[in-house]
Each structure stands twice: as structure tokens, then as C-alpha cells.
Amino acid sequence: MKYSSQNFKETLVMDFLLENRFRFLRHLLFLIFFFLLIYNARFWNWYSEDSKYYILFFVYSILIGMVYINIYVLVPLFFFKTRYVTYFILLVALGVLALNGIGYCFDRFFSEYRVINLPREKGGIYEGVLMCIPIILTTTTVKLLQKWIKDSQRITELNDLTLRMELNELRNQINPHFLFNMLNNVKALIRTDPGKATAVIMKLSEFLRYQLYENDEEKTLLTSEIDFLSNFINLEKIRREDLSVDIHIDMDKRILNSIFIPPNLFTTFVENAVKHSVSLNREENYINIEIKMEENKLHFTCINSKNSDFSAFENKYGGLGLVNIKRRLELLYQNTHELNITSTHKEYIVTLIIPL
């Protein structure tokens, strides 16, 4: 792929604004530029040569502190969270506090260093402070630009990853082997228990419908996700009569029916639970799933039995599907979620907590 000089320049500028490797250089250039701007203010001529540099660094420190408080405290905590009125009130208050503090120190501590024979020019310390206004506006704009670019990149990456996951799920999760076993079971049930065969076909239909249609939405009802997991496990139970399954929902039904989550958020964990709950020594096979809400967070827990003598499972739990779901969770919730996977002698325990 060929890049024009214009594309190269745009990429270089984007990298300079966003990449951590340029962070020190960005701040260094800004500090130097800001220092030169303050240094060229006229009011330093009112003070003696011996004192004006101390006064210069004092004013510089106050003003640069105000700028950094704005971009690292006020902007993230208030402007990014659309609390614009609070942001502007605090920004004005910060400016007034800095201005009064500088004025007080000039009158209280620095007045004796003034060169008396130089006429006082209009503007005074206000000239230096007013220089901060375009600086604050510029740095705030750069901060907003950085956030917008990062959010755009995150959305693009999330869309690409979601598309790949959906394709992989259609190819791997509903694999021919799984469907072959289900259809064979239905074929046998048609001869022995037609009523049960009809029920199985209905569950298989619901299973496929969720995968092919509801999976296209950005979010789906939690109840639909639970129904899908239930159908998936019940289809597996047809092949494995020794499999014990318990799905426990601990929340009010009205709340349950109002919660939306990204589709297939729990599927990878349940699929792994089904796969690794197979016992080779006629031990108890079980999958226990609990979904509840606490403090406006959704808690998902999946516990499945495992064969204590088959250590080969230990290093294969999850595989690529688990890597993908971890990355998807990072993109969806930006590290506001919690995911813990624990392996004991007889169980795998998965706990996922996501904000609502």
C-alpha cells in the first residue's frame, strides 16, 4: 500500500498527539512554549534584574499548575462527563483564585523589588494571566481531540472484533458435528417419543434463530441471552443424560425484563463449561449458572465439574474463544468489568461482573 506525503504527515501528527512514546516530548515543548510566552510579558520590566527571574518562575509555576489542573482534573472529571456548567464554574473559580493569589503575592512580597523609576504600564499582571486563556482553550481542545480519536479507534476496533467473533461463532459454535448429533438424536426420538422430538426441534429452532438474527443487534435482552444459554445446554443434555444443570436467576422479574447486554456475552463461558464438564470416570457432571444484580452491576457465575484425572484439559480451557471474549470485554467496558477464572481440583469457576 502506497502512502502519499499528505497521509504520512497526518499519521505523524496523529502519532505525536496520541502515542505514549511522544508524551515527554509533547509536554516538554508545551512547557518551553508557555515559558517563552510568559517571559515576553511586559511587566517583568518593572522589577530589578536580580528578582525578576524568581518572580517569573513563581508566576510560571502558578499558571502552569492551573493549566495542568484543567486538562488532568477538570476536563476528565467534568467536561468529558458532560457536566459543562460545573466545569466552567470551576474553571472560572480556578482562574480567579490563581489571579488573586498572584496579585496578593505581588503586593505582599514582591513590591519591594519594583524598580521605582519605571512607569507602570497598563495591563500589569493581567497581561500575563490573559495569555493563559488561549493556552487553556488550546490544551482543552487538544485533550478533546485526543479523546475523540481514541474513542473512534476503540469503536472501529470493537466493530471489527465483533464481526470476527460473530463469523467465528457461526462457523465454530454451531459446528456440523454439533448439528449432526442433534439431528441424529431427533431422528431416534421421532421413532420412540415424537412429542419429545417436537420439543427438541423447537429448541433447536430457537437456538438457531438467536444466532442468526438477534446476534446482529448491538444489545439484546438479558432474558433472550438466558433463553439461548438454556436451549444450548438443554440440547447438550439430550446427548448426555448424566449432565446436571442448574440456572439460577436472582433478581426481580421486572428488572430482569428491562436489562440489555451485548449478545453472546456469556456464550463462550457456557460453551467451555459444557465441553469441560465431561467426566471420564463416571463422576458427577454438572453446570451451575447464577445471574444476579448487585449495586447496579450484573454478576454472572458459571461453575462446572471437571475430570480431576485429566490434566490435559487444564491448559486448553477457553482457547481462542476466551482470548476474544476478554478483548471484547475490554473494548466494551474499558476495564470497568471484573473477570475471574479459577480452576480447582474438581471445578472450573468463572465470575464476570459488568456495569449496567
Q: What is the pLDDT of residues 333-351, one digit of tens each?
A: 878 899 999 988 888 999 9
Residue written as grid cell 486563556 = 133
Q: Is residue 166 one of the residues assigned to a domain?
A: no
Q: How many degrees, rounded to 5, is the angle at CA 25 between CA 54 and CA 37?
A: 40
Q: Are residues 205 and 334 in the same domain?
A: yes
pLDDT average, residue stretch 117-127: 50
- Domain finish residue from 121, 152, 183: 152
Q: Are residues 314 and 274 in the same domain?
A: yes
Q: Are residues 137 and 178 in the same domain?
A: no
End-to-end CA distance of the chain: 42
Q: Are residues 179 and 312 in the same domain?
A: yes
Q: Is residue 167 one of the residues assigned to a domain?
A: no
In tens, the pLDDT along 96-112 reads 888 777 777 776 776 66
In whole angstroms, give the CA distance from residue 335 to residue 322: 16
Greater pLDDT, 94 or 352: 352
What domain range includes position 110? 5-152
Q: Are residues 294 and 348 in the same domain?
A: yes
Domain of residue 269, CATH code: 3.30.565.10
Q: Is residue 58 one of the residues assigned to a domain?
A: yes
Amino acid letter at 202? Answer: M
What pTM value is reported for the model? Answer: 0.51
Q: Is residue 168 one of the residues assigned to a domain?
A: no
Q: Are residues 178 and 148 in the same domain?
A: no
| Of 251, 209, 18, 41, residue with least CA distance to 125 | 41
Q: Are residues 122 and 181 in the same domain?
A: no
Q: What is residue 241's predicted lDDT score, i.e. its pLDDT? A: 74
Q: Into how many domains does the chain fold?
A: 2
Q: Is residue 276 one of the residues assigned to a domain?
A: yes
